[in-house]
Chains A and B, each alone.
Chain A
């Protein structure tokens, strides 16, 4: 691996090695561009992953303290854990379930499609599905998404069998084992899925796409990547003209380093990315970097989620096999007759016994709760993923008093459910219940949202500079050599699991950065 000097100001510095940062790093390295990839977390390998929920959580999750506010239930159940995302090389692509769905054409035009909805900050994306299609093609090929590129779907597990039977009896048409970035057969040097069942804990077979063992090694083999793990960026710095010229970071021993840079790309997920921009305020940028619009940290979205678990007379053993290879897409459409704008997916999900007890209905106790867990091996489960409304007041801010281990203000995540979010969740709970009742459920449990895995929108892209943080390439409106490279860019949330689109945007951004560098524009 190449070692780039701290004073070398010719490289691109990327902060964060997950879906956005890890992919962008590889794409740039393949074009011959030198990249320094700074990752706050440790560098593990597949053999380090654990099929054991709590120890794996301690190993991979971002556990630095955060606070919460707002009326969302996560603030009550998990006041210091708003999000279940990762601090490790590979970021949350170690933990993600693999569901890879394209955003639909109408979802890119959210404001046009849904109209004015009170209390929302809806906008159309500055790009269309047509703009992204060639990049979606490249992302699906790179990730090996099933049901694309001639790759067969995954075989359905027991949990899917229950979903399928109930959905069909209820009259749903689009039910299958999903478009998954998990190999159904060996491909591109990666093994086929072994139906291990611990997708959330890091894939032990490597069948699931992750930047940890796909993009990052590919980038390293070009000789253009300088990966530095356990390197937490404290501040992005600029010169007298306001142009970005480096980043200050701390290494695992607490020593601080100033790395010079030609371009800085931020991909720390939608909580850390705005936090870093806000923590980098200066006399030139008193409200934080790239924040002339005041939109940095705002419009935080996390999908309208929830789960439905049901028990049956006979065993299911939902935990066996690929966690999320099962989907009903019939409700993912904009049909206001249902009482809300936009739509949602229903996807199979399961938790092991330790997490089921912790997340089924946090705080709940007594006979009914325990009786439900007694039927653990007779249980089936689904996760609801729907589009939530962007609201300006839902935002990531810097805590006024609390500091992290590096002395920097910790983030507070404020979220209030919008009426549209609540109406959608209630509709999904009802439909999910009907699916399982059609399959013969004896008891159904509506599970509240888990800490957020889909964190989006806090540095959104916009046509006009006053209405968002970056343009359609993720380039900040205010500072030409500062890019947003993760889900923070999303103008609206859409109803699809976001990783495929994050990867797609990263591929497109790499093309744009290379072209702009070639023209000496940045």
Chain B
């Protein structure tokens, strides 16, 4: 399954060019601005390094080349909100990232993807990692804005189901006989 040729996104990641630059608003909130994109991420408790690390972690946990960073950033935003509401959560996140960097003997985010993964594997049973992973499950796969690109069509009852919209349109295998699969009413 390994993709030998680097695509543009992977290249950008490996070269570190997607790292956000920081704009500090007068309110004290930090906006992370990503080069070449039309969106930014506002964080209040997490700093630039922590935000970038979390963002990279979410992508490493469930990597989809076709999914834009802004969808992964939803998870970072969730953690920032949780951290601003609860000091324990803030500490857990900050400690988790420190641990990651310690294991990397430097900045985890500066490592190659393979090395990043090796280190994530070491912390995969930690509460810190599991929280990020489980938030990703809903933030990414339960995000209706992403369903179409995964080929999922969502709610169908309001369209009359699929009785006339291709429930049996697969044409690359032989059709079963009517004894096994009678015609629709």
A137 to B27, CA, bound (A): 72
Q: Which of A54, A196, A369 contacts B162 (CB 8 A)?
A: A196
Q: Interface size class for chain A?
A: 35 or more
B155/A162 in contact, CB under 8 A? no
Known contacts A51-B157, A155-B182, A194-B160, A365 near B133 by CB under 8 Å: yes
Residues of B within 8 A of A192 (CB): 185
Instruction: Please state if B157 and A373 are interface contacts (CB–CB under 8 Å).
Output: no
A49 to B157: give the CA distance in the assembly, Å.
10
8 Å CB contact of A354 from B117, B141, B185: B141
| Nearest CB on A from B120, distance (A) | 8
A156 to B167, CA, bound (A): 8
Main secondary structure of the interface of A (DSSP, over half): loop
Check B152–A185 contact: CB distance below 8 A. Answer: no
- Mark the stretch among B30-38, B42-50, B60-68, B92-100 that contacts chain A: B60-68
Q: Given that A317-B151, A365-B133 are contacting pairs, would A356 and B141 also be in contact in the complex, using a CB cutoff of 8 Å?
A: yes
With contact pairs A52-B154, A320-B166, A376-B152 given, residues A160 and B176 touching in the complex (Cβ less than 8 Å)? yes
Whole-angstrom CA separation of A153 from B63 in the bound complex: 42
Q: Are B181 and A314 in contact (CB under 8 A)?
A: no
Chain A 402-443 interface residues, beta-carbon cutoff 8 Å to B: 439
A195: interface (CB < 8 Å)? yes
Contact of B176 among A164, A356, A367 (CB under 8 A): A164
Complex CA distance for A54 and B134, rounded to whole angstroms: 14
Whether A367 contacts B63 in the complex (CB less than 8 A), given A51-B154, A198-B157, A377-B150, comes out as yes
The answer to whether A352 touches B152, judged by C-beta atoms less than 8 angstroms apart, is: yes
- What is the bound-complex CA distance between A205 and B156, given in angstroms? 11
The answer to whether B162 touches A195, judged by C-beta atoms less than 8 angstroms apart, is yes
Note all chain A residues with C-beta closer than 8 A to B130: 363
Flag if A321 contacts B167 (CB, 8 Å).
Answer: yes
- Asked if B181 contacts A370 (CB within 8 A), the reply is no
User: Residue on B with the closest CB to A379?
Assistant: B151
**Pair B147/A196 contact, Cβ less than 8 Å:** no
**Which residues of A lie under 8 Å from residue B155 when comparing CB positions?**
50-52, 198
What residues of chain B lie closer than 8 Å to A49, measured between beta carbons? 157
Per-position 1/0 for A359-384, Cβ under 8 A of B: 00001011111110110111000000
A2 within 8 A of B: no
A51 to B144, CA, bound (A): 12
Contact between A175 and B166 (Cβ–Cβ < 8 Å)? no
In whole angstroms, how far apart are the Cα atoms of A176 and B156 in the complex? 25
Q: Which B residues are closer than 8 A to A by beta carbons?
A: 1, 60-64, 66, 117, 124, 130, 133, 137-138, 140-142, 147, 150-158, 160-163, 165-170, 172-176, 179-185
| Further contacts, 12 of them, CB under 8 A, given A315-B170, A320-B166, A353-B147 | A153-B182, A154-B182, A197-B167, A198-B156, A205-B157, A320-B156, A353-B150, A365-B62, A367-B63, A370-B62, A370-B64, A377-B151
